[in-house]
Amino acid sequence: MGWARGLYSAALHLVAPLAWRRLRREHALTNPRELRLGQVPETPTGEPMLWLHCASVGEVQAARPLIEALLDRYPRHRLTLTTMTATGAERALALAGARRDGRLVHRFVPLDFPAAAARFVGRLRPELALFFETELWPNLLHACHRRGVPVAVVNGRLSPRAFRGYRRLRPLMREALAGVDWLAAKSTADAERFAALGMAPGRTSVVGSLKFDIARDHGAREVSERLRMRLGERPVWVAGSTHEGEEALLLAAHARLRETLPEALLVLVPRHPQRFEAVAALCQQAGMPAARRSRGEWPAATAAVYLGDTMGELLALYGAADLAFVGGSLVPIGGHNLLEPAALGVPVLTGHELANFAEVAEVLREADALVEVADEAALAAALARLFADEAERRRLGEAGRAVVAANRGALERTLEGLARLLPAK
């Protein structure tokens, strides 16, 4: 074991009690401790397996086109999708359940202890391992390398903030990246940051962002159409993937909006399900009690807020809206996927905290397809302006949809690169 990975593994064991405590807060029905130690069912001999790891729900959603393409291109293989979080697990299980063919299964990724990583890879026996975006686990990468499993980092990105953190661990990252056979980077800037950590440029390709290759979900579109029909002609805006501290700002903006547009409805969709109850209480405290989708409630004509407290329905809710605000951007989270509403032709609004989607935001800005606001007062003003200007809403929506269409192609370039590691059989 290299000295850097040895120190890392020792440190990981020292903080293990904190890691277990964090995992206990994950609300999953099936999350026994042994799964986090790599004790997954063994892949039967002769059953080819692919492995894709995504951190959480946002990455699973972004990886969906890749998941479907891999299962189509490699029809003899099963695909194990691992996540770190329970919310990611819920989304992965929903995708697996929708397929009905049993070829997509979910497992929780093990903690990155050397023995757990080796046990997991040894039992899973993947023919190809894919790590999505910034998921770089040194012992898992090493376990793959030892067993001769080719490894790719797909949709690879390193935000400036993540790069600064990893740079402090450069010897460890250099050793970890030595086990990566191919990096499919989102942008030149991402590729350069990976190279500065030790990734060989000869094993790196800039393919673009998979987020532009958004899967077309006909089921979600049908739900959107039913929702919109039932909501009628009232002005509707969705605030999706919101975070603690952000909902209060959004409710304040909505209260301002309703001073001049009293029939306006806010569909509020918190990012994390463990916060649904707290957000419902916050709406009550703000004097705007929310109808809750999880309970089958429906907002009355005079209701101000509809709480989207279900999983996997954000796209359907975006599709039923006149305007969409993408959360994690009025608080220092770094933003979420601006392209989901854009792909549906829904005008996109966002706050200024966009570190996680800087490249995407820049593309949308260049096309004049993004409305950015600094605070709740600016958001209320922007909402009022856009609700009063149907032509501008239509222009913004069409511009956003055009951006997504023009930037598709990363999926096919990624599949071409993966075929060099694992030719189709």
Euclidean distance between CA atoms 133 and 110, whole angstroms: 18
Closest CA to 42 of 111, 103, 122, 115: 122
Q: How far is CA 389 from CA 289, 317, 324, 368, 385, in A?
A: 29, 22, 15, 16, 6
With H, G, I as helix, E, B as strand and everything else as coil, classify residue 108. strand
Measured CA to CA, the distance from residue 384 to residue 240 in angstroms comes to 19
Rg (CA), the chain: 22
CB 396 within 8 Å of CB 364: no
The secondary structure element, H or E, covering residue 52 is strand 49-53
| CA–CA dist 181, 188 (Å, integer) | 18
- Give a three-class secondary structure readout of 405-416: HHCCCHHHHHHH
DSSP string, 218-285: HHHHHHHHHHHHHHTTS-EEEEEEE-TTHHHHHHHHHHHHHHH-TT-EEEEEES-GGGHHHHHHHHHH
Alpha carbons within 13 angstroms on the beta-carbon side of residue 234 total: 22
Catalytic residue list: 59
Strands 265-270 and 104-108: unpaired
CA proximity to 112, closest of 121, 103, 124: 121
d(CA 182, CA 177): 10
